[in-house]
Amino acid sequence: MRIAIVSDLHIGYERFEEDAFRQAREALESASRIADAILIPGDVFDKRAPKPEVIAQAINIFKELSEKEWKAAVVEYDNRSGRKLRTTVPIIAIAGTHERTAEGKENVLGLLGLAGLLVDASEATAVLELDKERVAVFGLGGVSEERVKEVLGVLDPKPIAGAFNIFMMHQSTYELLPFSSDIIHNEDLPKGFDLYINGHIHNRVEMQVHGKKFLIPGSTVLTQLKDGEQERKGFLLFDTKDYSHRFVPINSREFVVEHLKFEEAPPKEIVSRCEKTLEKLLSQKDGKPIIKIVVEGTLARGFTNTDLPLRNLISRNADKAVVEIDYSKLKNPDVEKGVEEVRSGTMDSMSIKEQGMVLFLAKLKEHKFENRVDAVTLFEVLSKEQSKEKTIREANELLEKGI
């Protein structure tokens, strides 16, 4: 049986809503043409409570898929929640972390299952059949990291004799994201399954678990503009007969990250180099790419990040590309010196207001606000003798306006 693994569609993702819808549709339609069944390991939607028009987008996609002539069918369905099988269409999905709701509450992925547009296999087993070949899929819907072991212990998933068994989940594991020793390890996953598949991670991963393949197809839409996200978007096609898989790309917007380093550079030099970098990248790329420029290093003394008119550069190229310029790593020598003076206690010669300004700049930097607002103007607003409510309102207005 040929099985398409399509994950993390994030339909309704606001920043690239059109991309999310278009690329989800293309991935699922392409999968339906070349696969006998489709498995979706979570995050069909981007939000737990999507807008009605976003739900309508998903319904339109899955309604079209459900009306196709499929040779494979879901012939058995076993779950402990009392849900009924509403369709035999071989599209099996689980809820992801973006769709997770409080225990006992219906989630938006479950609504698609109730409508008979797909089979919701969250904490359930669905058995596919094609020409007497049986594929059993156990699904573990996305749960909080600290409860994964507990939930697996209660569910105690077991492979079904005579079937090709797939364990499908939407979780982090320590081997993927080693940020806590308490997170579940690959070896904690149930044994005896022929294939392990996972969502949640937005780049493609191929590993081994209990001597079997552990596959992550990545997302179909870009949601995080960071290094490691530049690979093509698409899905995986797995063949149970020869235990092989391949990546099937879709048309997705190209994403480029460029790092620029400076040393005591004046704003004019930084802006000029950013502009030239943009021109070069745009001349090399087709369509409307996503370009992220990361500015690193140090500013010339006497300048602050608010002296960088980069917003104008972004707006001028808005019709050619989606541009993001990250200068959170660009250090301000004057602020660095002020912080050091605070540490070393060499501020005695400063006025109270000057000392307050140094401390304020350090606090802005600590909370990564130094790039969003003119520090001096904000400091003056916060120093006014007026009501707390008015001060907060004026400060928020400054932050919303940005640099």
What pLDDT score does 101 carry?
A: 75
What pLDDT score does 329 carry?
A: 86
CATH domain 2-249 topology: Purple Acid Phosphatase; chain A, domain 2 (3.60.21)
Q: What average pLDDT does the segment 71-83 reach?
A: 90
CA dist list (Å): 217 to 40, 52, 235, 277: 10, 28, 5, 32
Q: What is the pLDDT of residues 130-141, one digit of tens each?
A: 999 999 999 998
> Does position 306 have pLDDT exceeding 50, yes or no?
yes
> Does position 403 have pLDDT exceeding 50, yes or no?
no
- Range in 61-75, 136-150, 373-387 the model is least confident about: 373-387
* Distance, first Cα to last Cα, the chain: 55
Q: What is the 3-class SS of the chain, one letter each residue?
A: CEEEECCCCCECCCCCHHHHHHHHHHHHHHHHHHCCEEEECCCCECCCCCCHHHHHHHHHHHHHHHCCCCCCEEEEEEECCCCCCCCCCCEEECCCCCCCCCCCCCCHHHHHHHCCCCEECECEEEEEEECCEEEEEEEECCCCHHHHHHHHHHHCCCCCCCCEEEEEECCCCCCCCCCCCCCCCHHHCCCCCCEEEECCCCCCEEEEECCEEEEECCCCCCCCCCCCCCCCCEEEEEECCCCEEEEEECCCCCEEEEEEEEEEECHHHHHHHHHHHHHHHHHHCCCCCEEEEEEEEEECCCCCHHHCCHHHHHHHCCCCCEEEEEEEEEECHHHHHHHHHHHHCCCCCCCHHHHHHHHHHHHHHHCCCCCCCCHHHHHHHHHCCCCHHHHHHHHHHHHHHCC
**Half-sphere exposure of 280 toward its Cβ, with a 13 Å CA cutoff?**
10
pLDDT band for position 212 (cuts 50, 70, 90): very high
- Residue 159 one-letter amino acid: P
pLDDT band for position 338 (cuts 50, 70, 90): low
What pLDDT score does 85 carry?
A: 92
Q: What is the pLDDT of residues 387-397, one digit of tens each?
A: 666 666 666 66
Report the predicted TM-score, pTM, of the whole model to 2 decimal places: 0.80
- Cα torsion at 175, 181, 186, 189 (round to 10°)? -160
pLDDT band for position 295 (cuts 50, 70, 90): very high
What pLDDT score does 388 carry?
A: 62
What pLDDT score does 50 carry?
A: 94
- Range in 21-25, 81-85, 238-242, 313-317 the model is least confident about: 81-85
Instruction: State percent of the chain over pLDDT 90.
Output: 65
